[in-house]
Copies of this chain bind each other. A is one copy, B any other.
Amino acid sequence: MNRPLRLIDVAKAAGVSRSTASNVFARPDLVRPTVRAHVEDVARTLGYAGPDPKGRLLRAGRVNAIGVVLGEGLTEFFADPYNQEFMSGITEACDERGAGVSLISAKQEQALRWNIDSALVDGLVLMCMAGDTRLVELAHRRGLPFVATDTDPGPEFSSVLIDDRGGARLAAEHLIGLGHRNIGVLSLEGADDGKVGFADPARRASWEYRNTRERMLGYDGAFAAAGIPPEGITVVESLNVPDAARSMAALLFDRSPDLTAVLAMSDVLAIAAIREAGRRGLKVPEDLSIVGFDDIPAAATSSPPLTTVHQPIAEKGRRAARMIFAGDRPQREVLPVELVVRESTARPRR
């Protein structure tokens, strides 16, 4: 394999100057048709496929691509339906714009830094899955425009968020309105320490992840308004994957056998809870009401179809990407959520 052809090789072979050759590819209208045809011909014979984007890039200063920082390993990433939706939104905005998308994974903490620093992109969308702010710091260092999602990076940076607290409150109010008083919470992780299982009030107070904290605050707000002491609520934290969620649901049911309803902080958790309930012979919603959060596609097709808090996941991605392209000053968008009542909730039996 011989040294790759450069523009100048083509120019020489065609007997024209570099810039003429460049124009043939970049601005063909500036070149006399006969010359253009000749240069193109020579390029073809030589096997020159057109200007190398690497050179163009340096010159132009722009890559015409954005990076999506995943905040977790790529491998698990695609398994989560939430991420699929989100990526659809991102990529749609990029398609509109003719821009590319690079995936920046965070398999290892150390590599993450390097990955962010060396990514060939014009801007970064941060998927702060857990609502932590570590990614914000790294992105800030890199010095590229960036937009955080699902975390609040402070007023000096851009972000797209949803009203987690409001949505959670809607979910809790729905159950309370149906007459439930004995409600358990199946929670997302609250911090980056790998702890799962029962979360007492002290633990809850120490949660770092914004999503988790805000959703809990939403639930608590509704409990308090209904005169239910939030401290008395059983809360169990779980990884947001089906298998783990199922065993944490089991833990929740074991710990509080008299629950009539469960607030799950994600649809993945909720669907796992439905399955676990089924395994125990509990019918949903007759014996147990369950409310999810997110409204992933599977929520509509689970059995029973899931009552959940709809958030515009794809829209979040779309907005974030567009925000980068627009390049305005820092701004913060909070997208609305709404309760979608399906068939996993009903009045309690007792």
Contacts and interface: CB of A to CB of B under 8 A. Distances in A.
Interface of A: 4, 47, 49-50, 53-58, 61, 63-65, 73-75, 77-79, 84-85, 87-88, 91-92, 94-95, 98, 100-105, 107, 111, 114-115, 117-120, 141-143, 297
28 contacts: A47-B143, A49-B117, A49-B143, A53-B118, A54-B58, A54-B61, A54-B63, A57-B57, A63-B120, A65-B120, A74-B87, A74-B88, A74-B91, A75-B88, A77-B88, A78-B78, A78-B88, A79-B84, A79-B88, A91-B103, A95-B107, A98-B111, A98-B114, A100-B104, A100-B115, A102-B102, A103-B103, A120-B120
Nearest to A117: B50
A73 B94 CA distance: 11
Given A78-B91, A91-B75, A58 B55 contact: yes
B78 A84 contact: yes
A279 to B, nearest CB: 14
A208 to B, nearest CB: 25
B119 A53 contact: yes
Given A75-B88, A88-B78, A98-B111, A120 B58 contact: no
B103 A74 contact: no
Given A49-B117, A58-B55, A92 B75 contact: yes
B74 A94 contact: yes
A286 B104 CA distance: 48
A26 to B, nearest CB: 11
